[in-house]
Amino acid sequence: MSVASTSSVDLALGERRAGRPRRLHLLGFALLAPSLLFLALFTYLPVVRVAIESLYDTPHGTGAAAAFVGLGNYAKVLSDPAFRQAALNNLVYAVGVLAPTLVLALGFALAVQRSSRFSTVLRTVFFFPSLVPLVAAASLFFFIFLPGVGLLDYYLGKLGIRGPNWLGDSDIALWSVIGLTVWKNAGYYMLFYIAGLQNVPRDAVEAAMIDGANAWQRLRFVILPALAPTTAFVTVIALIQLLTSVDHVIVLTRGGPSNATNLLLYYIFQSAHENFDYGKAAAATLISVAILLAISFGSLRVMERGARGDG
């Protein structure tokens, strides 16, 4: 074979090899196209639309054109006492749910981490509430919380205790909603801790036992540090769930009494579908999303430090 023909073959092979990555890139974009289309239509486009609507005041039922108000809707939301109350309620709700839920989830996971027939039954019992739809769970707890005749007051009466108005007392109503949420979510987050416990170094636990560490010391100094990434991840998804759930509030209290259980998402629902103030609802939505992103980002940073072992 001549030198010229060898060079032409090498050139052809080079062009073919250079074209292969290009075809692979095009194939990758083609495979991603359906997902990107749905993401654009149902995530990014609605966000852009909400951002635009937050800059306009749209009078309902007057036929008047939408008026550009700039940041006026944001100022209206931030100066609204109902929004501040909803934000405070959401903070109390998130903290009140998150702490006991994580403690219960970890306790459940520690109780059922070893495979046995009894632990299988316990896993089913603990996980079952998470399978109940939130609306159904709220309807169930509505009858449990009925003053005087509800299941909770019935058993309190057996002890000679008269229960309060669980959903009608502004000092107690939010804690009643918190109790429902903890009952429903603890079993679900238990699954993450069960998975996390599989990655706890057994040699570290055994070394602590040899050194004479009791169960509490092993949990505090060995197991909990190893579960830090799991806890941070569960915290993020739990906060997202807590800030985006409103079905139980609608069923149980509709934000009452006296806005005691009004959460951010229900405030947005009221602004849009009861007061028909879409600009205000859009502004409140973006403010809530910004809060959620800030909390999620902070929790993820904690998770990264825990994964790197920075403490």
Q: What integer pLDDT is reported at residue 9 of this predicted model?
A: 46
Cα 204 to Cα 215: distance, rounded to the nearest angstrom: 13
- Please give the model's pTM, rounded to 2 decimal places: 0.81
How far apart are alpha carbons 111 and 83 in whole angstroms?
41
In the chain, where the domains are located = 3-53, 71-308
pLDDT of 5 higher than 60: no
Angstrom distance (rounded) from CA 194 to CA 173: 32
Q: Which residues is 67 bridged to in the sheet? A: 57
Calculate mean pLDDT across residues 122-151: 90
Closest Cα partner for 68 from 58, 81, 78, 60? 58
**The pLDDT of residue 176 is above 90:** yes
Beta bridge pairs of residue 68: 56
Beta-carbon-side half-sphere exposure of residue 134 (alpha carbons within 13 Å): 16
pLDDT band at residue 307 using 50, 70 and 90 as cut-offs: low
pLDDT, tens digit (0-9, with 9 covering 90-100), for 32-80: 888 888 888 888 888 888 889 889 887 765 556 778 888 889 999 999 9
Taking the CB of residue 193, how many other CB atoms lie within 10 A of it?
22
> Which residue intervals of the chain are DSSP H helices?
3-39, 45-53, 72-78, 81-112, 117-131, 134-144, 151-158, 173-197, 202-210, 215-218, 224-226, 228-243, 247-252, 264-273, 278-308
DSSP 62-118: S-PPPEE-TTHHHHHHHT-HHHHHHHHHHHHHHHHHHHHHHHHHHHHHHHH-S--HH
Q: Does position 13 have pLDDT exceeding 50, yes or no?
A: no
Residue 269, token pair as written in the block: 């629902």
For residue 29, what pLDDT is reported? 80
pLDDT digits (tens, 9 = 90+) for 207-256: 888 888 888 888 888 888 888 888 888 888 888 888 888 889 999 999 88
**Which phi and psi angles does 67 have, rounded to 5°?**
-105, 135
Whether domain 71-308 has CATH 3.40.50.300: the reply is no
How confident is the model over 147-154, as a mean pLDDT?
A: 88
Mean pLDDT on 196-202: 87
Distance CA 78, CA 107 (A): 40
